[in-house]
Amino acid sequence: MKILAFDTSSTALSVAILEDDRLLADTSLTVKKNHSISLMPTIDFLMESVNLNPQDLDRIVVAEGPGSYTGLRVAVATAKTLAYTLTIDLVGVSSLAALALNSHHEGLIVPIMDARRHHVYVGFYENGRAAKADRYASLSAVLEQLKGRKQVTFVGEVTAFRQEINQTFPEAKVLEVLPSAFKIGQVGQKLTPVDIHAFVPKYLKKVEAEENWLKTHEDSGLSYVKRV
């Protein structure tokens, strides 16, 4: 099975091409550029580098969220378009899993992404599997929940939270880790394909404009139509 996998849910862009479990090519860009501009040229470059045509692909695997709203929209829209046009499988993998699976430590792996205002998108992974569902929460609530745990490793966008984590868990490892499209591709080849038309990003929280609108209109009797 030939797989194209990519993740644009954070400031990093990661793209990989796999044949079954074997990595054919990958690249990661950590410069702050518009992923909508960089994604397709990066895909084209890697495909050409390994002498593959789009019609050679069997599956698209994409990081489905949480993360940057713009980044997720770019990734999911691109993934759906490619899968639909090529009539191939589409699979979504947690963006937090992409961080956890790129860490090689024992014990509980806690991937976090900065959601601003002292909140994070957080996951809990152990032995390569999700121990709990990914969620949006305050960092203080996450740290309180983890009190008493041994062998905890925080990975991902940890720079802004390192001091507070170290104060609560002085023995915990705190590692800046980038997502791995290769790992996403490995996980995605074992998952059941999704309905291309129904597939949407997993934001885990509403955008700020939605939250403000709901606060303003919560008592107005107006109905709220869920954004897809």
pLDDT over threshold 60, residue 10: yes
pLDDT confidence of 206, banded at 50, 70, 90?
low
Judged by average pLDDT, the poorest of 8-12, 24-28, 154-158, 194-198 is 8-12
**Residues 33 and 71: beta-carbon distance below 8 Å:** no
107 and 161 part of one domain: yes
131 and 187 part of one domain: no
Q: Quick count: other Cβ atoms within 10 Å of Cβ 116?
A: 8
48 and 103 part of one domain: no
User: Alpha-carbon distance 184 to 20, whole Å?
Assistant: 12
Domain region containing 89: 2-94+179-206
51 and 88 part of one domain: yes
Q: What is this structure's pTM?
A: 0.85
Total domains, the chain: 2
pLDDT confidence of 214, banded at 50, 70, 90?
very low
Q: What is the pLDDT of residue 143?
A: 94
pLDDT tens digits, 135-160 = 999 999 999 999 888 899 999 999 99
User: Alpha-carbon distance 132 to 126, whole Å?
Assistant: 9
87 and 195 part of one domain: yes
pLDDT tens digits, 40-99 = 999 999 999 999 999 999 999 999 999 989 999 999 999 999 999 999 999 999 999 989
Backbone angles phi, psi at 179, to 5 degrees: -65, 155
Residue 187, SS3 per DSSP? helix
215 assigned to some structural domain: no
